[in-house]
A and B are shown apart, each in its own frame.
Chain A
Amino acid sequence: MIEIKHISKSFGDRKVIDDVSFTFEQGKTNLVIGESGSGKTTIMKLMVGLHELDAGEILYDGQNFPTLGVKDKQEVRKKIGMLFQGGALFDSQTLEENIQFPLDMFTNMSKEEKLDRVNFCLDKVQLTNRNKLYPAELSGGMKKRAALARAIANSPRYLFCDEPNSGLDPKTSIVIDNLIQSLTHEFNITTIVITHDMNSVMEIGEKILYIYQGKPWWTGNNKDILKTTNPELVDFVFASGFMKEVFAAVKNK
């Protein structure tokens, strides 16, 4: 479980995150949603320590991450898996080497054990036998899946996914979403997904935090969203006229 308590962050005079609190539950896909530029990715970067907090606390199973020393922070980070928006796979390494990388760094596994783990992870993301491919040889969806395989290689307790569906077609997006959700349930991971993709919200939103202009605006789950009367959230979720009509029809029923 990860708790964020009253976190704030400014860049210069601009307050990007303003007093946000939320609890990301273990074994659930926790979504942070919001418009582009609302501060979603900043929250994630604050949580993993890529940005420094101005105020507040970030508790990883009770440990206040920002106040930890370098070594303790590294220990927490070893339990984090992260899927970046662009994949962030190492270009000079094959898929096998990419996925094996955290195992090389932090485990004393034998070569065979590492290869077994790599094959297991590739199998999980439906990239069986693609070990020797380089990132440049993969499609967008495959890159995301490969990055997900690397993120789960070291059996993380916390999984961060930054816009896992950006640039993907709706069908591939659903595949990635379902993968993230099934891995979350299977390995009882605390998963945080940053997204503005409404398909993802409806598909895997077990717990949702809606951020509006850097402030926590609404919390709930994918079923609650259909009943919401929050005007900003309604505007965000049902942005098109067509969707608004669908929403009205559902409400009237």
Chain B
Amino acid sequence: MKLFFHLGRYFILIKHVFSKPEKLSVYVRQIIHEIDNIGISSLPIIAIISFFMGGVITIQSAFGFTSPLVPLYAIGYTVRESMLLEFSPTIVCLILAGKIGSNIASEIGSMRITEQIDALEIMGINSAGYLILPKIVAGVLIMPFLIALSMVLGIGGGYVMGIATGACSSYKFIYGIQAMFEPWKLYYSFTKVITFAFLITSISSYFGYYTHGGALEVGKSSTAAVVYSSILILIFNFILTQLFLT
């Protein structure tokens, strides 16, 4: 029963979030601020993780492909497929669910317990719209760019590690990352990213918005935001993969 309660309240909140903004210029300013907050501040962690993960996939592939029947360019191919299909759109989004999700939930939760949300309401402002809509829009706009960067850096990391460890030659790796490329896979990946961006920002905002109590509850909301965002990312990853790849 609690699931239905949360689902109902979540959709009611989303309805309020997407109601007409009081003043568009203020919202646009907020969206730009959130793009910086959500996107730009996540760049370093995404860059580091993606680069090293690309490198690790290269080394593991080289270690595993011992048969002379498997061509060396398969290393580049594996790195590309792993980064494009799963690592960047799903694993990086799970990492972002931790970083962005806890940030959003604790920010909105703190505003709730310090009556800042009440202050917005009393001013006659749709607090859900003002606080949450810019986060959702910013997330959906900026996360595809972050993930694209993650893909590039992951493949780049694989290339650098491949050359540095002597796992494969530059030519073979580049040939591998171009081999059998199907552009629709990018469409699949970015559909996942946009879906996950919406899930992370809206679910985290939901838990923050309905925080009651004090600092302890803000912490609990933060944790719940990360846990539920991650679970839903995995569920939707499965659903989208079924829809696109079967």
| B-binding residues in A (CB < 8 A) | 48-50, 73-78, 80, 82, 84-86, 88-91, 101-102, 104-106, 154, 160
Contacts and interface: CB of A to CB of B under 8 A. Distances in A.
A80 B26 contact: no
Most A-side CB within 10 Å, residue of B111, B114, B123, B126: B123
Given A77-B123, A78-B123, A50 B116 contact: no
Interface in B119-155: 119, 121-126
A74 B126 CA distance: 9
B122 A50 contact: yes
Interface string B216-228: 0000000000000
B23 interface: yes
Given A82-B119, A82-B122, A106-B124, A88 B114 contact: yes
Contacts of B119: 82, 84, 88, 90
B124 A78 contact: yes
Nearest to B23: A105
Interface residues of B, number: 17
B22 interface: yes
B118 interface: yes
- Give the 10 A-B residue pairs with the shortest CB-CB distance, closest first: A77-B124, A88-B119, A74-B124, A88-B115, A78-B124, A84-B115, A82-B122, A88-B116, A48-B122, A104-B26
11 contacts: A48-B122, A49-B121, A50-B118, A50-B121, A80-B124, A82-B119, A88-B116, A88-B119, A91-B111, A105-B124, A106-B124
Most A-side CB within 10 Å, residue of B25, B115, B119: B119
Contact of A80 (B111, B115, B116, B122): B122
A73 B124 CA distance: 8
